[in-house]
Amino acid sequence: MDTLIIDGLSFALPLFIMAIGGIYSERAGITNLALEGLQGFGAFFGALWAVVFSHFFNIPIQKLFYFALLLAMVGGMLFSILHALLCIKFKANQVISGVVINILSMALTVFLTTQINSLVFGALSDKFQIGTSVRFTVPVLSKIPVLGAAFKNLYPFEIVILVIAIIAAYVLNKTRFGLRLRACGDNPHSVDAAGVEVFRVQFKAVLISGALSGLGGISYAYSISTNFSPSIYMGYGYLAIAALIFGNWKILPTLGACLLFGFARSGGYILGQMLEMPSTFSDLIMTLPYVLTLLLLIFFSKSNRPPRALGEIYDKGKR
């Protein structure tokens, strides 16, 4: 049971912070299928600068953990500018823009990682070795039966994600900026009539989604693997999108969906070990979160209420 909870949380929380980024973008009216690409490029950016600083300044790479988290957020934000420009400035189809950015991110990170490893570090690899993150246990709370497992073997990024998630929820639901952002996704013309620049609010929302996706991406690099590799992110961005849809574009229900996916993944892994299945069947069990996603979307999609102006290209002169 402890392993189920510990591994489930370490998978669910990065997924959750990415989903919050998607909520910010989509509550502002911008469809964001680019979460997959944003998390990959953000993780690449954070891992790159961590290994560069470690190599040239002889700093133990474990001490650059928080530096890598910060730079991953910066990288995701920078890459999200492309999606914001295409959708807001040039009024491109938002779905196509997201798909193209995902493809571009995968190709670009593979190319840049191999080239940088070859030219700078003299290694033929498409990975950046960033090591493993230290883990810690909360002394008293970890002794609670069953639920105490949530306070055992925690990654530091899990605490960072929870703090940022609380702040993000407060900003979205309790501040003037959050009110304007939500109004942009429901009735952008009323926002414009109030004297607020709709495009500016939407641009900020997309940048926030990029930063949070980058944080989720680098968190997976530290937990699922000991290195950055473009191959470890396949499908997680789309899983985050499914979680926010199932959560009806609300933060707390989205957390529930992410926890469900996380525990399904860790439960499938434990089941494979208990049954001593060969790797081929073990991989099949690991598809449980995606099967669960399909079932949830089939049975609950009819009750979803997306923002009314989601995906619509805002035309200031149209009423």
Longest dimension (CA), the chain: 63
Contact 133, 156 (CB under 8 A): yes
For position 132, what pLDDT does the model report? Answer: 79
Angle between helices 2-27 and 176-186 (to 10 degrees): 70
Q: How far apart are CA 206 and CA 224, in angstroms?
A: 26
Two structure tokens written together for 22:
């998607």
In terms of Cα–Cα distance, which of 301, 286, 169, 210 is closest to 248?
301
Q: How far apart are CA 309 and CA 184, in angstroms?
A: 8
Contact 13, 158 (CB under 8 A): yes
Note down pLDDT in tens along the chain; length 319 residues. Answer: 788 899 999 999 999 999 999 999 999 999 999 999 999 999 999 999 999 999 899 999 989 999 999 999 999 999 999 999 999 999 999 999 999 999 999 999 999 999 999 998 888 888 998 987 889 999 888 888 888 999 999 999 999 999 999 999 999 999 999 999 999 999 999 999 999 999 999 999 999 999 999 999 999 999 877 788 888 787 899 999 999 998 999 999 999 999 988 988 888 777 777 777 666 666 666 677 778 777 877 777 777 889 999 999 887 766 5
Q: How far apart are CA 111 and CA 96, in angstroms?
A: 23
When computed from its CA atoms, the radius of gyration of the chain, rounded to whole angstroms, is 20
pTM of the shown model:
0.94
Place of tokens 């979307």: 297
Q: How far apart are CA 313 and CA 198, in angstroms?
A: 11
Q: How far apart are CA 55 and CA 200, in angstroms?
A: 39
| Total number of residues shown for the chain | 319
For position 76, what pLDDT does the model report? Answer: 98
Two structure tokens written together for 69:
């988290």
Q: Could you tell me the end-to-end alpha-carbon distance of the chain, in angstroms, rounded to an integer? A: 56
Q: How far apart are CA 280 and CA 243, in angstroms?
A: 27
For position 318, what pLDDT does the model report? Answer: 66
